Structure 1
């Protein structure tokens, strides 16, 4: 008897203390409004959107390799080396065979402003593979955002129903306090009249204390749930928020067969699709590493002028153009090691995709079984509540007639409270299991 309220209070708290939380006064949010608010305000989705933009920027960076690269430069050189000084004098168009000592030219200054353009003709396909990986990166980021959205919707749904469960448990505790207080008041009158034992009064006082303790715990559970919902909805602790307590969600329908659910998950679940995209990215990165064995060809052209000062003259300008082909003959095994690294990253991505599929299958089966169990419990508990209410009514009448003890009355009330708690737990377990099933199948997407 001491722990009769702890059982159903613990059940209510288990419904609440999940990932998520809500205040009162200003607005009363329906579940749909709470979800919309979370999708608009939750910072996690903002983070995922920033990652999508990062992936777009990375694609733009990879596309830059398909355009010419143009650079402007200014160089200065001073030398009294005969060969270098002679070359600089020639480039400056001021070579004179009279009065010149080619062996002792003295110090010569050379300024060269220059514009250089280069264009990659061939890199073994590395630029193409990098572009493909970057495009896949954008798709992966979008799928990861969809997966985060699914998780957020599920968390908000679970928290919303968790608070409703706590509020209903709180009503039960308040009703229990009122009933026990009324019985206690009557019992004290009987005790004072000498028609009731002191032990019966004491038992009711203990019952009242336990009912008040349960009421305190459920009230605190509501506050915790509100705080959790505010966090998920991106609201500060000072913002007014309350859920629509009058909204009564109907019990969900029985789930489809597992194979049908699995086919839906495999075709649309964003986490699984993102894992598959990461495998494709790893394949492109492996292609990039392997392409390093192939030759590279670049075309270039530069335009500039040489002078002994910064004065520019078209009489001293010059143009250079050409093509350069190079291939790595030996890189200290760096290329081979990069290929090995890419191969291991591909293997890790493939195993991650397999692990993701197994996890989704397990989540799907678990959610399906939870929903089936909760629906069965809800059906049984509905009958149990009706029986417990009728039993308490009969015992209360017998108690008023003085044909049963207060212990029997307390037992009947505890049985009634437990029946209501089981009904609350089963109903909200079914609603939360439905939300988990939707997330596991990628339905929220």
Structure 2
């Protein structure tokens, strides 16, 4: 499961990053502290760490095949079957020929206790143990790469949400200032309308402006709550726990990125998700080798040491040793080996297609982030000029309004134009920062 920023946050992430102060009396998290806390406490990273440890244990299981297997056992038998009874009597070293034929035909019930230690060692298994070991080693590397990819995604999501929170805070502050300003103008305009010195249309325009500012405040408040709730999820905090964020420092715009081919080459070399997909192909190929090795013979060596007695009394006069080698090959397994090979071949095909799909996704991510960063940097250069022009226009209209040359509607229009210009400039700046972070994610830049 990959960490994804909720779609509901999209309006927030389009807003600007503007410094604001955390609530007093609460410990405030900086961006770096927020990232550190999330990387330490996010449950998905804990799950992936457990998978790494699980893969390490699987490697230990695979390596066990290269060691001898030693077992200790204790068995008890009772029988009056002549063949079994005399076999036990002979093993106990107490056969007496002087007892005659009746004794051999009717030995009676015989008890036999056998404590035993046995050891076996796999001499050859068609390379299955070696392939299994290699697959387990690559399984650990794959789990580590998957954790790294998830870690990068978490950093990207926390960064976006952290700045989105402050963007919403800024939008909320702007909407409150707009409400206060419009309410003041609306009160004066209603007084002038009642006195007959102002048109009804001017009052209605201000009422519309007030409704828009109030609607913006509601959306900003909701965006703040959504951003904070998402940060809690990313940081692994319960929903009821409150926390504060420290005012972020103003960031410079990112530099113009390198060319697409350079960035793509970097991504193909170090993107953890792509590397993990390639490792999964190698693992599937080794599992295919294991399945094909089922056609080869298997050889095992074994040795056992034990003692047979009537009453568990140990004596070196009754001990015995058995050693040997077994060689076996599956002549017919009901087509099980062939079906295992087919299953492994399909798994290899699926892994290769998944790796190809991941490569295409990486290429698309790099291209998209590269284009968005170039677009945002270009937009910011244009909107910065527009902000300066809109602020100068508002200053002139304000002077004209004070002189009674223009109506309050014209002043409101100039103020709205200034706010829109600022919003576009801030959005472009934030989009550039966001695209730069997405480009780092796509190229596997984060450590």
Confirm or deny a common fold (TM above 0.5).
yes
Gaps of 5+ in 1: 1-8, 17-21
Matching residue of 1:164:
166
TM-score after normalising by structure 1 = 0.92
Which secondary structure state, in structure 2, belongs to the residue aligned with residue 102 of structure 1?
helix
Matching residue of 1:140:
142
Kindly report which structure 2 residues correspond to 1:199-218, keeping only aligned pairs within 5 A, or say none.
Answer: 199-218=201-220
Distance apart, 1:50 and its partner CA: 1.1
Which secondary structure state, in structure 2, belongs to the residue aligned with residue 315 of structure 1?
coil
Change (3 A) 1:287 1:11: closer
Query: Which sits farther off after the overlay, 287-296 or 24-33?
Result: 24-33
1:74 aligned onto 2:74: yes
Matching residue of 1:291:
293
- Residue by residue, what CA displacement relative to the aligned partner does 1:231-281 show, whole Å, maximum 9, x if unpaired? 212233444433333511111111110000011111111111111111111
Q: Tell me, yes or no, if the aligned pair for 1:30 and 1:247 is still in contact at 8 Å.
A: no
Query: Which sits farther off after the overlay, 298-307 or 240-249?
Result: 240-249
Which secondary structure state, in structure 2, belongs to the residue aligned with residue 281 of structure 1?
helix
Matching residue of 1:19:
none
Matching residue of 1:46:
46
1:221 aligned onto 2:220: no
Q: Tell me, yes or no, if the aligned pair for 1:27 and 1:240 is still in contact at 8 Å.
A: no
Matching residue of 2:266:
264
Matching residue of 2:247:
245
Kindly report which structure 2 residues correspond to 1:24-423, keeping only aligned pairs within 5 A, or say none.
Answer: 24-25=23-24, 26-100=26-100, 101-423=103-425
How many Å separate the matches in 2 of 1:246 and 1:316? 84
Distance apart, 1:396 and its partner CA: 3.3
- Residue by residue, what CA displacement relative to the aligned partner does 1:189-212 show, whole Å, maximum 9, x if unpaired? 323433123442233233223212
Matching residue of 1:15:
14
Which secondary structure state, in structure 1, belongs to the residue aligned with residue 334 of structure 2?
coil
* Residues matched between the structures, number: 432
- Residue by residue, what CA displacement relative to the aligned partner does 1:374-422 show, whole Å, maximum 9, x if unpaired? 1111111112222222223333333344433343333223222222221
- Residue by residue, what CA displacement relative to the aligned partner does 1:144-165 show, whole Å, maximum 9, x if unpaired? 1111111111111111121122
How many Å separate the matches in 1 of 2:206 and 2:9? 22
Which secondary structure state, in structure 2, belongs to the residue aligned with residue 329 of structure 1?
coil
Query: Which sits farther off after the overlay, 300-309 or 233-242?
Result: 233-242
How many Å separate the matches in 2 of 1:173 and 1:224? 18
TM-score after normalising by structure 2 = 0.91
Change (3 A) 1:110 1:216: same
Distance apart, 1:23 and its partner CA: 7.7
How many Å separate the matches in 2 of 1:246 and 1:158? 13
Distance apart, 1:285 and its partner CA: 0.8
How many Å separate the matches in 1 of 2:331 and 2:42? 53
Distance apart, 1:10 and its partner CA: 9.8
Distance apart, 1:222 and its partner CA: 1.2
Q: Tell me, yes or no, if the aligned pair for 2:48 and 2:143 is still in contact at 8 Å.
A: yes
Which secondary structure state, in structure 2, belongs to the residue aligned with residue 93 of structure 1?
coil
How many Å separate the matches in 1 of 2:429 and 2:28? 22
Query: Which sits farther off after the overlay, 332-341 or 234-243?
Result: 234-243
Q: Tell me, yes or no, if the aligned pair for 2:13 and 2:167 is still in contact at 8 Å.
A: no
Q: Tell me, yes or no, if the aligned pair for 1:51 and 1:141 is still in contact at 8 Å.
A: yes
How many Å separate the matches in 2 of 1:107 and 1:232? 73
How many Å separate the matches in 1 of 2:197 and 2:388? 33
Matching residue of 1:3:
none
Gaps of 5+ in 2: 1-7, 16-20
- Residue by residue, what CA displacement relative to the aligned partner does 1:81-114 show, whole Å, maximum 9, x if unpaired? 2111111111111211123521222222222111
Query: Which sits farther off after the overlay, 71-80 or 266-275?
Result: 71-80
Matching residue of 1:441:
443
How many Å separate the matches in 2 of 1:390 and 1:245? 29
Q: Tell me, yes or no, if the aligned pair for 2:142 and 2:279 is still in contact at 8 Å.
A: yes
How many Å separate the matches in 2 of 1:84 and 1:12? 85
Q: Tell me, yes or no, if the aligned pair for 1:23 and 1:241 is still in contact at 8 Å.
A: no
